[in-house]
Structure 1
Amino acid sequence: MKRLNWGMIGGGEGSQIGPAHRMGAQADGNFVLAAGALDHDASKGKDYAQRLGIAGDRAYGNWKEMLEGEKGREDRVDLVTVATPNATHFEITKAFLENGFNVLCEKPMTMTVEEGEEIVAIAKSTGNVCAVNYCYSAYPMVREMRNMVTRGDIGKVRVIVANFSHGHHGDAGDADNPRVRWRYDPTMAGVSGQFADCGIHALHLASFVAGSDVKTVSADFASTIASRVLEDDAMVNFRLEAGAVGRLWTSSVAIGRQHGFEIQVFGETGGLKWWAEQPNQVYYTPLGGRTQIMEKGEAELSEEASRLSRVAIAHPEGFPMAVANIYVDLAAAIQGQPHGAFPTAIDGLRSMSAVHQCVASAKGGGTWVDARPASLR
């Protein structure tokens, strides 16, 4: 594959997610950071971009300048990553797609279902790649789990239990910290707090591993810190189209938990477990047999898991390399080459529909509702 030009919007100096994208995109030599509008403060963004090696004429003050500057270039960027605050994702993603760019958008892709439907339609009509960064689906051993389920190693999936809970927002005295406050502010985060922030990662992963979309949901939301408008704890029951039952807990006030993302899949003839804090391993228990620990880098893993493993067995590969695996698949897709499954605009649309329907369910006392957008029912 040839090296592709890559541009980034957001993810400036001090950003939580920016470094993971920069390490991930460039880890395999598929992309070079050629352009960027990295900060809402134009001067800071331009300065930081140039310190990262971006040429001065491609260090832009804002995304609109970047769009105008790039769309007429022969060496325009092949992929644009949108890593800005949630409320801006739709406008930016739409503008770049309409102008012929491929886009990787941070989640959530949009703030409303209607916006999600529009992005899906634009991506379809233009033929451009539009991906969403549900990067946990790109860990090698998560891909191995998906392969095992698809292959029938655990039989038909019966139950999925997912958990994405941490305690980093558990201090009520920290409620006015701007890095925390926006996540529970409807004007910036949308209709949901913790579920839209972390829970949809777990919901997407459940669908991804099982190979079946979420059909219905029943939710209970709680704001355990009184100053918060949006929820900081949520329990969501769900059912997949293929019939499996799902249970999902997500929380930001679970003091003592650090990352807390794990998923267990229970089938007719076996069970699987993966934990983000120990991502190199999958626990596999066949019916009537002993639990086995499968390691990243082992012989006899699937091609999908093996091709995304970069270092030898027992050497850890973490979050930035999972992001890198998204970029590996995107580089191949952009160039029309074989690639693994990466989250698309349709996944972003399904997630946003699930968020809104979970909010409706929680307000209705946990009533069961259809989680799917109208266009996909």
Structure 2
Amino acid sequence: MTKLRWGMIGGGEGSQIGPAHRLGSGLDGLFEFCAGALDHRAAEGIDYGQRLGLGDRAYGSWQDMLAGEKARDDRIDLVTVATPNSTHFEITKAFLEGGFHVLCEKPMTMTVEEGEEIVRVAERTGNICAVNYGYSGYSLVRHMKAMIARGDIGKVRLVNAEFSHGHHADASDADNPRVRWRYDPAQAGVSAQFADCGIHALHMASFVTGQEVTKLSADTISCLEGRELEDDAMVNFRMDGGAVGRLWTSSIAIGRQHGLGIQVFGETGGLRWCQEQPNQLFYMPLNQRLQVIERGEANLSPEADRTTRVTIGHAEGMPLAFANIYTDLAEAISARKEGRAIDPAANLYPKAPDGLRSMSAVVAVAQSGQNEGKWLDARPPMFRE
């Protein structure tokens, strides 16, 4: 198979997310890293890109990269947008309209209106717009989804999701630029912790249950003096398949490290998974003993088998979950090029409508939190019919 060509915007030297994308995209040999505009500082971005082997396809800006790649016969097939939140809309829209497939970091946009525009542009151009809810790439998360879809726990009654950590709990860290921007409305938008972490948990709830959030009520608070945006939120929500949801997200929970986990309770069983222990999925059938499902064991679902690379008993980490998103996208792009249907087990990557639904929920959480937990419609206007 000929490798697909991949480029990246953002994710420069010292970035938290850049290495995970570069590792994930290259893990299966499906993509070749060909182009990048890796830093908002042109000289630094070009220098770092050249050190990574990009040569004359190390660009000083995303605008230069768009123009340069459009002019090439061997243009990139996919671009990843890993820049600050406020730039996602402009860059994603420009590359979609330029004829490129896009994987955008979350949140996809800063407003619901921008999110709806991205959905429309992706539909109009026919280009893929994916959103990096990368934790949905974990093998046992996909097995959890398959179990729920085939009825192993019966009708879903309750979902409990969390994504809480304590890494922003130190008041003396208030002027740290890596922390400060997250609570600045000018850079982060209407929400801090929920937009940063809570939407991962909310997307996970929809992903595994196959249900979408319809309305929600939120209690938000800024525990550290001087923060304009929330650092803790508790959200109650309802889903279109009848499930009830509870979600807690926090950045001041000292002692919590990563804290992404989900529990789903149905009529005939319950399931539990935690990102810090991704090799185990806990399954409790009604009136039976607890079962521990191990990643890589025999007789799992096609969705789980397709996304398992490391033999059973060995650690599986976040870059491999990202790699599964990239493997899905490689299959989706290749299927389009070859004029065939995509493998159903690969058609699980988060798409532009998922990014839009998340942005709509972010806005609803912010508004509900400012209105004493008033229940609000969490759906984007274009999806309310």
Task: Give the TM-score category using the shorter length.
Answer: over 0.9
Aligned amino acid, residue 300 of structure 1: N
- The amino acid that maps onto 1:359 is A
Q: Secondary structure at the match of 2:120?
A: helix
* TM-score when normalising by structure 1: 0.99
Q: Deviations over 1:238-286 (max 9, x none)?
A: 0100010000000000000000111000000000000000001100000
Q: 2:363 — aligned with what?
A: 356
Q: Shift in Å at residue 2 of structure 1?
A: 2.4
Aligned-residue CA RMSD in angstroms? Answer: 0.6
Name the structure 2 match of 1:103.
102
Aligned to 1:271: 270
User: Which of these residues, 323, 338, 352, is aligned with residue 345 of structure 1?
Assistant: 352
CA distance in 2: counterparts of 1:2 and 1:194, whole angstroms:
41
Counterpart in the other structure of 1:297: 296
Give per-residue Cα distances to partners, 1:50-96, cap 9 Å, x unaligned.
Answer: 111112x2110010000010011110000000000000000000000
Q: What is the percentage of aligned positions where both structures have the same residue? A: 68
The equivalent of 1:14 in structure 2 is 14
1:37 aligns with 2:37: yes
- List runs of 5+ in structure 1 lacking aligned partners: none
**Equivalent residue in structure 2 for 1:366, among 349, 362, 373:** 373
**Would the aligned equivalents of 1:304 and 1:340 in 2 still touch at CA under 8 Å?**
no
> 1:184–1:231: 8 Å Cα contact kept in structure 2?
yes
Say which SS state the counterpart of residue 15 (structure 1) adopts: coil
Classify the secondary structure of the residue corresponding to 2:32: strand
Matches within 5 A, 1:1-377: 1-55=1-55, 57-336=56-335, 337-338=342-343, 339-377=346-384
Equivalent-residue separation in structure 1 for 2:45 and 2:52 (angstroms): 11
Secondary structure of 1:272 counterpart: strand
For 2:96, give the aligned amino acid.
L
Report the Cα distance in structure 2 between the residues aligned to 1:228 and 1:176, rounded to whole angstroms.
Answer: 11
Could you tell me which amino acid in structure 1 is paired with residue 2 of structure 2?
A: K
1:340 Cα deviation after fit: 3.0
SS of the aligned residue for 1:253 comes to: coil
The SS at the match of 1:144 is helix
The CA deviation at 1:364 is: 1.1
1:172 and 1:283 mapped to 2: Cα distance? 37
Encode CA deviations 1:131-184: one digit per residue, 9 max, x unaligned. 000011110000000000000000000000001000000000001100000000
Letter in 2 for 1:161: N
1:29 CA displacement: 0.4
User: What is the Cα deviation at residue 311 of structure 1?
Assistant: 1.3
Work out whether residues 11 and 39 of structure 1, in 8 Å CA contact, stay in contact via their aligned partners in 2.
Answer: yes
What is the letter of the counterpart of residue 99 of structure 1? G
2-side partners of 1:287 and 1:143: how far apart? 22
Partner letter of residue 34 of structure 1?
A: C
Give the superposition deviation at 1:360.
1.1
What is the CA–CA distance in structure 1 between the aligned matches of 2:246 and 2:302, rounded to whole Å? 30
Query: Given the two structures, how large is their TM-score scaled by the length of structure 2?
Result: 0.97
The runs of 5 or more residues in structure 2 that have no matched partner are: 336-341
Distance in 1, Cα, partners of 2:347 & 2:139: 11
The offset of 1:358, in angstroms, is 1.1
> 1:127 & 1:335 partners in 2: Cα distance?
14
One-letter amino acid of the structure 2 residue matched with residue 349 of structure 1: L
Partner of 2:339: none
Deviation, structure 1 residue 98: 0.4
